[in-house]
Chains A and B, each alone.
Chain A
Amino acid sequence: MTANDILKNITAQIAQCAGIPKCNNWALQRGDGAVYDGNVADGNPIGIDEMDAPSGYIRVTSEIDFGNAGVGSCRGVVDMSCEFALVLWQNTNQPPTELLDKAIYDIARCKIKPSGYNHPVIEIERGNAFFDAIYTEETGQPLNTPPNGLVLAKVVFTVRVKVAYCNLTLPACYQKLITPPFVFDADALNLINAILGTGATLTQPEKLAVNTWFVELKNGGYYDSFALGAVWLMVGGTAAAHKFNAINPIDSDSAFRLTFFGGWTHSATGAKPNGINTYADTYFIPAVNATPNSIAMGYYSGTNSAGSYIEMGVTGVGGYAGWGQLCIAPNFSGSRVLAVNTTGNAGGVVAITPTGMFVTSRNDGVNIRLHRNAALVASSAGLPVSASDKKVYVGARNFNNISATASNRECRAAFICPTGLNTADADAISQIFINFETALGRA
C-alpha cells in the first residue's frame, strides 16, 4: 500500500464522519476526579461555577471512532495534534461559526492512547487559566465571569492527523453538544448559598426551582419592583432557611429577614403557623418602606381550613385598626377580607377557598384588588389614607403591635412589593409563584 493509498483511506473515513458526532463515551473531568457528564437530573450538575472552581486540570476524554475500513493503515500515523475549544453561549441558538473559530485555543497537551484496535482515546489537559478566558457571549468577547442564565456549551475537537511519510495534515472536526449545561442566576445562587450556609440542604430540583423563579421574575421585568421589598420562598425546611428574603438574603432586620415567633412547623413544604400563637415579623413598615397608597402583598397558602385567620397584614396608623391597614384573609370566619392602605377593603360575604396564591394590590390610589391563582376575584374602591406605621406580620396580622388572628394555613411563599401592581402584573407574578410551587410539588 502506498502513502497515497493510506491517505485516500483516511480521507474516505473522515468524509464518512462529516456531520456525524463521533465522540463516544464523552466526558469532562476536573483534577479532583469529579465528572461532568452533562446530566443535570442525576444530581451531579454541570455548571460553569463548578468548572472554574477545582484545582488541577480539566481533562477531556473521548473515543474517536475512525470506522473499520482501512484501519490497518493507521499504523502509518506517527503524530497527531489537537485543538480544543469549550464554547459557551446564552441562548438556545447555535453560535455563529466565526464565534467558534474565535474561541478555539491551542491545547497544552494532547495524548493519543490506543484503546482498542480502531478507537483511540484522546486526552486533552489544560490548566485552570484556560477557563478564565473562555466564557464567551454572543459578542464573541471573552468574559472573566460566567454569564447569567441558561448556557449551552459545545466542545469542539479538531484532530489533525499527520502521516509521516507523505507529510500531510488531515483535519477532522468532532463535536459534542452538552445538554443542558447550567449556570445559576447570580441572585438565585446568593439565596441558595445563604440557605446552605445555615446547614440546611436543598435538593437539585429545589435549587433549579429557585433559579427558575428568579429567571422568570427577571425575564418578565418584575424583579426591580421587588428590589426594595421582600420575598420569602420558604425552601430549605428549617426556620433558619425560611427566614431569608430572597431578594436580599442577609441575616438582618433591615434586610427584612423573618423572625418566627411561636410554634411554627418548618418542613420541605413550607412554614406552617399553628393558628394559636404564631407570627413572623417582617420588619417591613409600609409608612417607611413602601410607596404611599401603592403596595402589594402575596401569600401562597397550602392549607384549606376554616377559622378566624389572617394570613398576613398589619393594622392602620396609630392605634386604629381599620384605616391604613393591609391584610390578606381569603376566609376569615366565612368572609373574605383584603385591605390595602385604605378605609375600605376588597372583602365580601362569601369566603374564597383559602389555598393557592393570593395577591392583594393597589396601584392607582383607589381600587383594591384581590387575585387568587393569577385571576382577579374581587375589587372595590377605598379612600386613600396614610400607610401603616407598624411592621407587617406573616402568618398573622400585627394588631397595633400585638400579633392576633394567627393563621394555621401553611405559608409556601409570601411577598411584599413596595409599589402596587396592576392587574396584569399581579396575575403574571402570581403565575411565577404558582410555577415555583408546581416545580416543587407543593402547588
Chain B
Amino acid sequence: MTYDTTKVRLLTENQKDALLGIFFAPASVYRPMLDGEGRWILSEEEAGETTNPEFLWVKILPQINFVAPKVDFP
C-alpha cells in the first residue's frame, strides 16, 4: 500500500450509497471509492464544490489521510 498525506473525507456505507449517481455540479458526479485500507472515501474537491443543501453534510465529514490502493499493470 502507498501511504499518502493527501487528505480525503471518510464515508460510511450509508453515506456512500446516498452519494452514488448524484451530480454535485453540472457534468460532475460524486464518486465514492474504496481506498487501500478498504474505507469509503470522497475527495476534498467534491466536498468543496458541493452547494446542494441536501448534501452539505459532506463538508463536515472527517478528514483522513488517503491510502492509495495497490495497482498492478497487467
Chain A interface residues toward B at CB < 8 A = 198, 238-240, 242-243, 257-265, 274-279, 308, 310, 315, 321-322, 329, 332-333, 335, 337, 403-405
Minimum CB–CB distance from A361 to chain B (whole Å) comes to 20
Minimum CB–CB distance from B46 to chain A (whole Å) comes to 5
Residue of A nearest to B42 (CB): A277
Give the distance in Å from the alpha carbon of A276 to the alpha carbon of B28 in the complex: 15
Q: What are the residues of chain B within 8 A of A265 when measuring CB–CB?
A: 45
Given A262-B31, A403-B31; A276-B6 close (CB under 8 Å): yes
Given A276-B6, A332-B73, A404-B71; A239-B28 close (CB under 8 Å): yes
Give the distance in Å from the alpha carbon of A332 to the alpha carbon of B73 in the complex: 8
Query: When the two chains form their complex, are residues A260 and B27 in contact, meaning their CB atoms are under 8 A apart?
Result: yes
The 7 A-B pairs at the shortest CB distance, nearest first, are namely: A263-B45, A263-B43, A262-B31, A240-B26, A261-B31, A321-B74, A239-B27
- Can you give 16 contacting A-B residue pairs, CB < 8 Å? A240-B27, A257-B27, A259-B28, A260-B29, A261-B29, A262-B43, A276-B8, A276-B41, A276-B68, A278-B31, A279-B31, A322-B74, A332-B73, A335-B73, A403-B31, A404-B69
Task: Check: B25 CB closer than 8 A to any chain A CB.
Answer: yes
Minimum CB–CB distance from A67 to chain B (whole Å) comes to 62
Minimum CB–CB distance from B3 to chain A (whole Å) comes to 13
Give the distance in Å from the alpha carbon of A332 to the alpha carbon of B46 in the complex: 26
Residue of B nearest to A337 (CB): B73
Within 8 A of A (CB), among B1-48: 6, 8, 25-33, 41-46
Select A277's contact among B25, B33, B73, beta carbons within 8 Å: B33
Chain B interface residues toward A at CB < 8 A = 6, 8, 25-33, 41-46, 66, 68-69, 71, 73-74
Query: When the two chains form their complex, are residues B27 and A276 in contact, meaning their CB atoms are under 8 A apart?
Result: no
Q: Is the interface of A mostly helix, strand, loop or mixed?
A: loop
Q: What are the residues of chain B within 8 A of A308 when measuring CB–CB?
A: 68, 71, 73
Query: When the two chains form their complex, are residues A263 and B27 in contact, meaning their CB atoms are under 8 A apart?
Result: no
Q: What are the residues of chain A within 8 A of B68 when measuring CB–CB?
A: 276, 308
Q: What are the residues of chain A within 8 A of B26 when measuring CB–CB?
A: 198, 238-240
Minimum CB–CB distance from A158 to chain B (whole Å) comes to 54
Minimum CB–CB distance from B54 to chain A (whole Å) comes to 19
Minimum CB–CB distance from B18 to chain A (whole Å) comes to 16
